[in-house]
Amino acid sequence: MPLGYLLRRLTVFLLIVWVAASVNFFIPRLSGADPVRERLLQMAAVGGTGTGTVEEVVKSYQAKFGLDKPLWQQYLFYLADMVRFDFGVSITRFPNSVAGMILDALPWTLVLVTVATLMAFAIGSLFGALVAWPRAPRFVHVLAPPLLTLSAIPYYLLGLILVYFLAFTWRIFPLGGGYKVGTQPSWSWAFIQDAAYHSILPALSIILSGVGFWALSMRGMMVTTQGEDYVTFAEAKGLRPRRIFLRYALRNAILPQTTALALALGHVVSGAVLVEIVFGYPGVGNLLYQAIRTFDYPIIYGVTFMVIVAIGLATLILDLLLPVLDPRITYHRT
Amino acid sequence: MTAVPLSLEQAQDRIGRVLRGLRTYPMLSAGLMLILLVLLISLIGPLFVPREGVQVGSAPPDQRPSREYLLGTDTVGRQILAIIIYGTPLTLQIGLIAGAIGLGVGMIFGFVAGYYGGALDHLFRGAADVFLTVPGLLILVVIATTFKGAVSVMTQALVVSALAWMYPTRTIRSQVLSMRERGYVQLAKLSGMSGPEIIVKELMPNLLPYLAASFVSAVSAAILASIGLEALGLGPQNEPTLGMTIYWSLYYTSVLRNLWWWWSPPIVMIVIIFVGLFLISAGLDQVANPRLRRAA
């Protein structure tokens, strides 16, 4: 792999990390007020948690961010903290560290989003390829319009509909949460089974509304591929249609799809965050939602940073894998 | 140009041409029809449904749909029908404002990056790529929680527009790249037209259907982002936008309490809007790109 390509991709990744950190630093300062301090003062005024704790939080907060120092120095300290994943402590659940809370929630989101996205990608691509294939079975054309309509519904709204019918009315699936109330997360077989059962509906809402999106772009790709000379030649050779479909048309059409996957990740995660809220799923989306409701800024900033870094990393890996998968992609194009 | 009054035949001819155009592009006309339906509901609805129904406590709480309250009421005594009728235009308004800003900024960035190339191209394309990879909703959450307080429909539109420029930038840039070397652009350059002049007089008219399609997708993306933020509770608190309705229905666990008439109408409206906008933008793509017509 040429060094230049690797370096360029790494630069983009570092840029993404830098943007994520800077957004968290500058947007609050642009507003003129310091939201964290305001929130702390507000809590002190209410006095709900006892002034002792608030004083402690304020002190640790001010010492940590060195508020007396000039702005550029604060910025550098901030960047250094971010890179070390040091997001400070939660305001509402002091003294829990934000990094720890995110680390508890992140695996749930990662597994849910990865599995659901890959399934939506696989099913959607296959389906889209079939829609464009003249010899496709009939049911494909019957299913196409409803699937396309589903793709116009945001994930979480579809989730709401699924909860109502499959969990509330027919009680096939649990209403929400990541595992049975009263159990503790562990690596036992029973717990994993329970967690998988609870994740079916959230995953289904991501898959159902994702399939149409992938099918649509795959269909376009397949239409182009079918006009290619090598497909015509394969037909002329008398190869079996199944083989032409899988080995000649589909195989060449799927690769540009993978590029689209790298681009769509951010969008998918935005949707998944909201899905988690609908289902009360114990991932970062729910953590973020709780933090928004209590204006727990360190958590909001921490989640934003971590998720953006995770997506940047996933995109980086995909980008480095793509040229290996598809020799037609040159390293010189970004 | 002064308006010349049309003769009857001319008018008939025009209408006939529009109708034929609609038949040629079934996706476009189906989409326009759906959006027209939404607009009609929000234009005609206020004539029959008083605005008071939007206010908390204007009706008894948790009423099923009945003759008096056609779509029922929510837990704090708002009437769902009134919410839909007065909330839908607000959601559309947010989408239109943010989409227009996004397209405007995207056009400037896209045309400059595509036409001039070089360092400017690297800067704008790089920025667009970086922000496209990032989950926009989270950045919008940071913006919205920082500037919390009394969010109006206008501020909401501005917040959403902060991330509405990347897609237009990217797509317009790639279109401009393919047009830059065409004969008529070269000719314009030789005849001494300046860069901005070429962009406005030569490139833009040729990209018109394409820009229209970009605008529609930008509006759709802005509405998606806006209802996403609102579903998190980060929207205009006192306005009955569709997203805020979803937020309140989640907040008061309407699904678990079987208040289906509360959460389903906003979903239906949102789906109609998204399907309509999607069809319009796909239809405009067909107008812009004749090759797609055969594939359809």
Q: Do B258 and A168 touch (CB under 8 A)?
A: yes
Of A27-31, A240-244, B85-89, B206-210, the poorest mean pLDDT is in A27-31
Q: Taking residues B75-97, what's their average pLDDT?
A: 92
Instruction: List pLDDT tens digits, range A230-271.
Output: 888 888 888 888 888 888 888 888 888 887 888 788 888 888
Question: Cβ contacts (< 8 Å) between B265 and chain A: which residues?
Answer: none
Distance from CA of B183 to the nearest CA of A (A): 26
| Residue A89: strand, helix, or coil | strand
pLDDT at B296 over 50: no
| Interface membership of A13 toward B (CB under 8 Å) | no
pLDDT at A57 over 60: yes
| Interface membership of A140 toward B (CB under 8 Å) | no
| Interface membership of B40 toward A (CB under 8 Å) | no
Cβ neighbors of B68 (< 8 A, separation 6 or more) are none
Helices and strands per DSSP (H, E), number in chain B: 14, 0
Question: Which has the closest alpha carbon to B167: B244, B80, B105?
Answer: B105
**Class of residue B236 by CB neighbours under 10 A (exposed 0-12, middle 13-18, buried 19+):** buried
First to last CA, chain B: 38
For chain A, the helix, strand and coil percentages under 3-state DSSP, each to the nearest 5 = 75, 0, 20
* % of residues, chain A, pLDDT over 90: 9
Question: Which has the closest alpha carbon to A249: A226, A271, A232?
Answer: A226
Q: Do A161 and B267 touch (CB under 8 A)?
A: yes
| Interface membership of A147 toward B (CB under 8 Å) | no
Q: How many CB pairs under 8 A join A and B?
A: 126
Q: Do B142 and A154 touch (CB under 8 A)?
A: no
Q: Which of A26, A275, A281, A304 to mutate to test the interface with B (most CBs of B within 10 A)?
A: A304
- Write the Ramachandran bin of B49: left for phi over 0, alpha for psi from -120 to 50, otherwise beta: beta
Q: Give the whole-angstrom CA distance, residue A76 versus residue A82.
A: 10
Q: What confidence category does residue A298 fall into, taking pLDDT thresholds of 50, 70 and 90?
A: confident
CA angle B220, B256, A294 (to 5 degrees): 65
Q: Which residue has the tokens 């928004």?
A: A292
Task: Compute the CA torsion angle B166, B167, B168, B170 (nearest 10 deg).
Answer: 80
**Class of residue A137 by CB neighbours under 10 A (exposed 0-12, middle 13-18, buried 19+):** exposed
Q: Do A270 and B246 touch (CB under 8 A)?
A: no
| Of the partner residues A153, A168, A295, the one whose CB lies closest to the CB of residue B145 | A295
Token representation of residue A24: 């968290």
pLDDT value at position A30?
Answer: 75
Q: Do A266 and B139 touch (CB under 8 A)?
A: no
Range A103-295 has CATH code 1.20.1260.10 = no
As a residue count, chain B comes to 296
Sign of the C-alpha dihedral, residues B60, B65, B71, B74? positive
Q: Which of B91, B133, B143 to mutate to test the interface with A (most CBs of A within 10 A)?
A: B133
pLDDT value at position A34?
Answer: 64
Of residues A316 and A51, which shows the higher confidence score?
Answer: A316
CA angle A282, A206, A218 (to 5 degrees): 150
As a residue count, chain A comes to 334
| Interface membership of B258 toward A (CB under 8 Å) | yes
pLDDT at A278 over 70: yes
The complex scores an ipTM of 0.81
DSSP annotation of B53: G
Q: Do A152 and B131 touch (CB under 8 A)?
A: no
Number of C-beta neighbours around residue A269 at 10 A: 25
DSSP calls for B101-130: HHHHHHHHHHHHHHHH-HHHHHHHHHHHHH
- B99 with B67: CB under 8 angstroms? no
Encoded amino acid at B227, one letter:
I
Instruction: List pLDDT tens digits, range B121-154.
Output: 888 888 888 888 888 888 888 888 887 666 788 8
Question: Which has the closest alpha carbon to A149: B37, B270, B137, B88?
Answer: B270
Q: Chain B window 89-118: which residues touch A at a Cβ cutoff of 8 Å?
A: none
Distance from CA of B212 to the nearest CA of A (A): 20
Q: Which of A9, A24, A27, A153 to mutate to test the interface with B (most CBs of B within 10 A)?
A: A27
pLDDT value at position A68?
Answer: 60
Q: Taking residues A270-298, what's their average pLDDT?
A: 88
Token representation of residue A176: 């929400």
| Interface membership of B134 toward A (CB under 8 Å) | yes
Encoded amino acid at A271, one letter:
G
| Residue A97: strand, helix, or coil | strand
Distance from CA of B27 to the nearest CA of A (A): 12
Instruction: List pLDDT tens digits, range B211-270.
Output: 888 899 899 999 999 999 999 888 888 888 999 999 999 889 888 888 889 999 999 999
Cβ neighbors of A207 (< 8 A, separation 6 or more) are A116, A119, A120, A123
pTM of the model: 0.85
B152: part of which helix (H) or strand (E)? none
pLDDT value at position B1?
Answer: 45
Q: Which residue has the tokens 């994943």?
A: A85
DSSP annotation of A187: S
**Which residue(s) pair with B73 in the sheet?**
B79
| Interface membership of A16 toward B (CB under 8 Å) | yes
Distance from CA of B14 to the nearest CA of A (A): 33
Instruction: List pLDDT tens digits, range B39-81.
Output: 999 899 888 888 888 888 888 888 888 888 888 888 888 899 9
| Interface membership of A149 toward B (CB under 8 Å) | yes
Q: Give the whole-angstrom CA distance, residue B285 versus residue B212.
A: 9
pLDDT at A306 over 80: yes
| Of the partner residues A270, A271, A304, the one whose CB lies closest to the CB of residue B142 | A304
Q: What confidence category does residue A36 fall into, taking pLDDT thresholds of 50, 70 and 90?
A: low
Domains of chain A by residue range? 103-295
Question: Cβ contacts (< 8 Å) between B129 and chain A: which residues?
Answer: 12, 334
Q: Do B136 and A270 touch (CB under 8 A)?
A: yes
DSSP annotation of B79: B
For chain B, the helix, strand and coil percentages under 3-state DSSP, each to the nearest 5 = 75, 0, 25
Instruction: List pLDDT tens digits, range A203-213.
Output: 999 999 889 88
Of residues A49 and A130, which shows the higher confidence score?
Answer: A130
Of residues A331 and B94, which shows the higher confidence score?
Answer: B94
- A260 with A318: CB under 8 angstroms? no
Q: Taking residues B169-189, what's their average pLDDT?
A: 86
Q: What confidence category does residue B295 fall into, taking pLDDT thresholds of 50, 70 and 90?
A: very low
| Interface membership of B146 toward A (CB under 8 Å) | yes
| Interface membership of A297 toward B (CB under 8 Å) | yes
Token representation of residue A283: 């991932």
φ, ψ (nearest 5 deg) of residue A214: -70, -35
Distance from CA of A144 to the nearest CA of B (A): 13
Q: Which residue of B has its CA nearest to A295?
A: B145
Q: Do B263 and A160 touch (CB under 8 A)?
A: yes
Q: Give the whole-angstrom CA distance, residue A298 versus residue B129.
A: 27
| Of the partner residues A154, A267, A293, the one whose CB lies closest to the CB of residue B233 | A293
The distance between the two most distant Cα atoms of chain B, rounded to a whole number of Å, is 73
